[in-house]
Amino acid sequence: MCPADLVFPYVLFVNSALCITLIRKQRGLLLFFGKHSFLRFLICFVGDVFYFGRKYARCPFGIGHNWIYWRNISSKFRTMRVFSHLRLLILLTVALNTLDHKLQQRGQLNLTKFQEDLRFCPQCFESQKVACGNLMENLIANTNHKPILEHLFALLPQRSCKRNNQLYGLKGQEGETNTHQILAKYFANSKEHLEWKLQVGELKQLFLDAERLDGMQFWPLANIEDFVKLLMEYHRNLSPLAIWLYLLVNVQPLLMPWLFSWQFPVPQTHGICGFTIYQEYAGQDLYHFQNQPFLLRLKIAKHLLEACLKFSHGIARYRFYITDLTADNVVYSIHQDRLSFVDLDTLFVVDARGAKYKSSTHRHEYIECPGCFAYSPEDIAAHNKSDLNIYSACQFLSEDLYRDKTKGFLYAMPTESLVQKYPELWRTLQRCVDCPRESCADRFAVAQQLLGEFEKVLSDNANKI
């Protein structure tokens, strides 16, 4: 046995401990202190494994060619190893120090953003000052919800991402962390709004003139004033100027609390501060569940189809159509058995009172558009309601936007026995997507049949979920 095998673990441990000690003494240079001492030790330890492990790949205390091999390694190559080890250590040190600094400054960052929004439009956000001040005092940085590597990746620039989210805990009445987690979302990263004139007439005209490829669409535009009045009745603390500003920048601070009050599948809103909305953390996105057991995915599919039906029926005369149903826009909580839509900025809102065919249902048919979701706003708005949401849900469960059936949410099939036992489930799902006229007179009826198939499979296999 190589003598180094006996010494090597102790050398690693002592060297890692010394590594941390030396780094902590250099806090004037690296400011390397905070909550991640164990992780720093682990990084030093792993770094030592790479360094010493390669160094002792051939036992330096052995005999024969092993010893000769080690002696023949050039001093230049050994020096390169040392510098590689130090570079890795310094890089991770700086990254972790930055992480500590970021976590400590989150609350200040949110306050700064709110102050910027307040300076931009005092008459829009003045009424939020007291509530937002109280909310921010009760937020605490939450670092336990995801692995540390995700925190490190979060330090990378986010300019290309439309979301800027941070997770917090919520203090209880006695200063203890509540069981609820709060997600802060900032919606005004583009800064386009800084160029607008802050007048109701100007903002309204911008909304009416905009080609709404992004953001909320409303049909018919002639009825938008009625919808604004409805939102103002709910958001009594907001001025008309603030309402129109949110409609242009991002409608979610207006829609999410209102929809939640009507028991729609969206997260609960705990506060709105300028262009930041604070919502409950409602679960993991559906990407996380794509490789989970089939019966769990089937339960999620049932919730998804029920949610899409609820949006289709809407509130009073308003129908809501989801134009961006993707795995990252929908989340699910296993503990609560609850599905939520977390991104509704591109919601298509239709005032059915202006429909040409008031007693008929629009039937969506596939429009050739590989990789995108195409629909006809004029055709949808001309009918009392549309089956667009049902089509979106069934397509998501069955295939992707390129019509690749290996990418559907339910693609990873169950055991062969389940497939043979419930053949109608797969036939009904496909009929929901294609909806051929000879066997699909009404996609809403097919959706109800599909829900029945889901319920049957889940009920028969309840002990396996």
Quickly count helices (H) and strands (E) in the chain. 18, 13
Claim: this prediction has a pTM higher than 0.85: no
Residue type, 184: A
What pLDDT score does 439 carry? 81
Dist. CA 203–CA 301, nearest whole Å:
40
Helix (H) or strand (E) holding 432: helix 423-434
147: preceding bond cis by omega (within 30 degrees): no
CA-to-CA separations, 302 to 160, 165, 458, in angstroms, rounded:
33, 28, 10
Could you tell me the domains of the chain? Answer: 3-73 (no CATH), 103-280 (no CATH), 288-464 (1.10.510)
Any idea what DSSP says for residue 363? Answer: -
What pLDDT score does 88 carry? 61
CA angle 281, 163, 411 (to 5 degrees): 70
- Give the gyration radius of the chain's Cα atoms: 28
82 contacts 51 by C-beta, under 8 angstroms: yes
Helix (H) or strand (E) holding 162: none
CA-to-CA separations, 375 to 74, 253, 342, in angstroms, rounded:
67, 26, 22
Which single residue is written with the structure tokens 């060619």?
65
- Would you write out the chain's pLDDT as a tens digit for each of its 465 residues? 444 444 444 444 555 554 444 444 443 333 333 444 555 555 555 555 554 454 444 444 443 444 333 344 445 545 555 555 566 656 665 555 554 445 445 556 678 899 999 999 999 999 999 999 999 988 887 655 454 444 444 444 443 344 568 888 887 655 554 557 999 999 988 888 999 999 999 999 999 998 766 789 999 999 999 999 999 999 999 999 999 999 999 999 999 999 999 999 999 999 999 999 999 999 999 999 999 999 999 999 999 999 999 999 999 999 999 999 999 999 999 999 999 999 999 999 999 999 999 889 999 998 888 888 889 999 999 999 999 999 999 999 999 988 998 899 998 766 677 778 899 999 999 999 999 888 888 999 999 999 999 999 999 998 887
Beta bridge partners of 217: 348
